[in-house]
Chain A
Amino acid sequence: MIGTIESQLANALGKGSLRIGEVIVRGTDGGFEILHAADAEASDNSIDIASPGLPGFSDPSEARKIALFDADGRYRPLKSAPTLIRGWVLRLRGVGEVREAIEGLYPGALGNWAGWVKGACRPTALRDTLNRQSGMYRVTARATDDEADSTVRSFCHPGCAKRILWGRTAEEPISELPSVKVPPPHALASGEIPLLCSEACCLLVAELREVVKSRASR
């Protein structure tokens, strides 16, 4: 059964090479390959030539292991951090395997994108996220507007490649976000599937907790 998300992905792939996060997905004779964009550019200066020189994997579940550690062996809890390792290629047989591999590299990204394209992705405003925290994170509800906005600006960029769909509230956007952090104008801008953030993550909430507590202790 091919669902809507896979159909949307197939349509996007039918238009040529795709960029998502730090990787390129492109068609080959046998199906598709996924590799780091920097390796794609390095191979023969042509993004259309398949990459025989890199260690290859044919099991889409290998993607999860590729995304797990950075080049220094440090764990990557945030998969959209700009620290994906280079030096590998995933060689896959069909769109289903491409979807599974992208799930391993960027968990949830295709669902977020497909939902956003249809207008069905409901972002959660930052204040709503903070107001429902419990336990040790409850204090984040006391973040001022300035603290919230400045923390988002410094913590979420360039540390995360996701474009932010939420505002501080339903009416108030996060102020002064750079253009790479706001939703793109089109579903598939320049052959790129955008990584999208539909809600502040636990890492941002933890960072805000530190900001609020250090202000309270001054």
Chain B
Amino acid sequence: MITPRLTPKPRSALLIAAHGSTVNPDSSAPSWEHADAIRRSGLFGEVRCGFWKEEPSFREVFNSFESDEIYVVPNFISDGYFTQTIIPREMELEGAITHHGGRTIKYCEPVGSHPRMTEILLARAEQAAPGVPQKAAALLITGHGTGLNENSAKAAKQQAEIISGMQRFAEVHSTYMEEAPLVSDWATLTHAPNVIVVPFFISDGLHSYQDIPVLLGMETEPTAAASQRDIFRRNPYHLQGRSLYYAAALGSDPAFADLVIDQVAAFDLAHDRHH
């Protein structure tokens, strides 16, 4: 449910900018769903999505807008290569505020920077392993990791530090597909009898639904996409003497639509707009 945190902006548009995928059909689904929910809320005159790997692209989507003011919110799990390099380049942005072709484009923080990320992460862990005592569980917050920009790895690490400080779980680690600590080393990295893995991703797409389960040993090869299977997951998976629970991706939680709206409100606050 959308609980508005800003007054309606009928003359403004919202652009949700996300990665998308050329190989997985579920990657863009959360962005479209958030856009639908926000459109129904009536907070903006127009709500659209633009993608790096799907249509409409980050550049051509601007042909579809009619508003003179467009808020862009990256639906990315962290600040990083895409939010700092790709999106500004593709959208020809000049910083937080760009004036271009008679329009004002307001570039907001990504959803991954929102303080509610921790709460949603914990909810995902609880949903994957209901009733499992957290004091007998290791929580693995698992991200992509990339050499192109260290911020994306940092975000998962920061969440691990915050949750570790809460002292709810026996162990808390951030792990990655492509950098140490590797998620494929989960069994040596952890000691608790229960291991809960929360994919630090925007959707149940290629990496979170198909690739990481192979790295964990849950699957011997990538399965079909989530939307093409009958059952999402069969938790727990009994592997190497432990019970492993694999959660839905962080970003597929419908609460992320609220985070998108919040990032627009945060932009206005930061730039002293009074509506």
The residues in B between 9 and 47 inclusive whose CB is less than 8 angstroms from any CB of A are 10, 20-25, 32, 36, 45
Contacts of A56 in B (CB 8 A): none
By DSSP majority rule, is chain A's interface helix, strand, loop, or mixed? Answer: loop
Size range of the chain B interface in the assembly: 20 to 34
The residues in B between 34 and 76 inclusive whose CB is less than 8 angstroms from any CB of A are 36, 45, 49, 52-57, 59-66
Interface code B70-89, partner A: CB below 8 Å = 1, 0 otherwise? Answer: 00000000000000011001
A108 touches B25 (CB 8 A): no
Distance in angstroms from A15 CB to nearest chain B CB is 22
B63 touches A115 (CB 8 A): yes
B225 touches A61 (CB 8 A): no
Q: Does B228 contact A (CB under 8 A)?
A: yes
A3, A115, A202, A206: which contacts B52 (Cβ < 8 A)? Answer: A202
Closest to A77 in B: B22
A5 and B22 in contact, given A64-B32, A77-B54 (Cβ under 8 angstroms):
no
B55 touches A108 (CB 8 A): yes
A79, A80, A108, A124: which contacts B64 (Cβ < 8 A)? Answer: A108
Interface code A105-133, partner B: CB below 8 Å = 1, 0 otherwise? Answer: 01110111011000011001000000010
Contacts of A1 in B (CB 8 A): 10, 45
B10, B21, B63, B86: which contacts A112 (Cβ < 8 A)? Answer: B63
Q: Does B148 contact A (CB under 8 A)?
A: yes
A3 touches B32 (CB 8 A): no
A111 touches B60 (CB 8 A): yes
A73 touches B63 (CB 8 A): no
Distance in angstroms from A75 CB to nearest chain B CB is 4
Q: Does A51 contact B (CB under 8 A)?
A: no
Contacts of B25 in A (CB 8 A): 68-69, 75
Give the most central of B24, B36, B61, B63: most A CB within 10 Å: B63
Contacts of B22 in A (CB 8 A): 77, 202-203, 206
A79 touches B55 (CB 8 A): yes
13 inter-chain pairs at a CB distance below 8 angstroms, sorted by A residue, are A1-B10, A5-B66, A79-B55, A107-B55, A108-B55, A108-B56, A108-B57, A111-B61, A111-B65, A124-B59, A134-B85, A135-B148, A203-B22
